[in-house]
Amino acid sequence: MPVPNRNGLEIVSIDVKDVRFPTSLGSHGSDALHTDPNYSCAYVTTTTGNGKQGFGLTFTCGRGTEIIVLTIRSMKKFIIGKNAADIFADFAGFWRTITNDSQMRWIGPEKGVAHLAAAAILNSLWDLWARLENKPLWRLLVDMEPEELVSTIDFRYITDVITKEEAIKLLKDKQAGKDERVKYLMQHGYPAYTTQVGWLGYSDELVQSLCDKYLKLGFKFFKVKVGVNFEDDYRRCSAVRKCIGPNNVLMVDANQAWSVNEAIEWMKKLAPLKPMWIEEPTSPDDILGHAAISKALAPYNIGVATGEMCANRVMFKQFLQSGGMQYCQIDSARIGGVNEILSVYLMAEKLKVKVCPHAGGVGLCEMVQHLQYWDFASVSCTMQDRLIEYVDQQHEHFVDPCVVENAKYLAPKQPGYSTEFLPGILDRFAYPNGSEWRQMIKDGIFPPPDEAELVNV
Active site residues: 225, 358
The rounded radius of gyration (Å) of the Cα atoms in the chain is: 21
Closest listed residue to residue 441, CA positions, set 450, 455, 70, 30 = 450
* 288 lies in the binding site for a copy of itself (CB under 8 A): yes
**388-390 and 53-60: which strand pairing?**
unpaired
Interacting residues of 121 by C-beta distance below 8 A, sequence separation 6+: 14, 44, 46, 56, 72, 75, 79, 98, 337
**40-48 and 11-20: which strand pairing?**
antiparallel
Nearer to a copy of itself, 248 or 318 (CB): 318
* 453 lies in the binding site for a copy of itself (CB under 8 A): yes
* 36 lies in the binding site for a copy of itself (CB under 8 A): yes
* 116 lies in the binding site for a copy of itself (CB under 8 A): yes
Nearer to a copy of itself, 6 or 105 (CB): 105
Contact 23, 39 (CB under 8 A): yes
Q: How far is the CB of 258 from a copy of itself (least distance, A)?
A: 9
* 157 lies in the binding site for a copy of itself (CB under 8 A): yes
> CA-to-CA distance for 264 and 312, rounded, in angstroms?
26
Contact 413, 48 (CB under 8 A): no
Identify which range of 128-136, 314-322, 370-378, 390-398 contacts a copy of itself by CB under 8 A: 314-322
3-class DSSP assignment, residue 305: strand
> CA-to-CA distance for 53 and 40, rounded, in angstroms?
21
Nearer to a copy of itself, 148 or 262 (CB): 262
Amino acid at 444: G
Binding positions for a copy of itself, 252-271, rule CB under 8 A: 256, 259-261
Nearer to a copy of itself, 175 or 259 (CB): 259
Instruction: Tell me which of 3, 99, 101, 224 binds a copy of itself, using CB under 8 A.
Output: 101
Instruction: Tell me which of 17, 28, 115, 131 binds a copy of itself, using CB under 8 A.
Output: 115
Query: Which DSSP string corresponds to 423-451?
Result: TTHHHHHBTTTSHHHHHHHHTTSSPPP-G
* 109 lies in the binding site for a copy of itself (CB under 8 A): yes
Instruction: Tell me which of 273, 309, 381, 441 binds a copy of itself, using CB under 8 A.
Output: 309
Size of the residue set binding a copy of itself (CB under 8 A): 71
Binding positions for a copy of itself, 180-209, rule CB under 8 A: none
Residue 100 — φ and ψ, nearest 5°? -135, 40
CB atoms within 10 A of CB 396: 9
Contact 277, 305 (CB under 8 A): yes
Q: How far is the CB of 173 from a copy of itself (least distance, A)?
A: 24
Contact 117, 75 (CB under 8 A): yes
Identify which range of 62-70, 131-139, 267-275, 426-434 contacts a copy of itself by CB under 8 A: 62-70
Instruction: Tell me which of 71, 339, 393, 394 binds a copy of itself, using CB under 8 A.
Output: 71
Q: How far is the CB of 414 from a copy of itself (least distance, A)?
A: 28
* 23 lies in the binding site for a copy of itself (CB under 8 A): no
Instruction: Tell me which of 311, 325, 330, 335 binds a copy of itself, using CB under 8 A.
Output: 311
> CA-to-CA distance for 149 and 271, rounded, in angstroms?
42
3-class DSSP assignment, residue 308: coil
* 27 lies in the binding site for a copy of itself (CB under 8 A): no
Instruction: Tell me which of 322, 403, 408, 428 binds a copy of itself, using CB under 8 A.
Output: 322
Identify which range of 68-76, 192-200, 368-376, 406-414 contacts a copy of itself by CB under 8 A: 68-76
3-class DSSP assignment, residue 39: coil
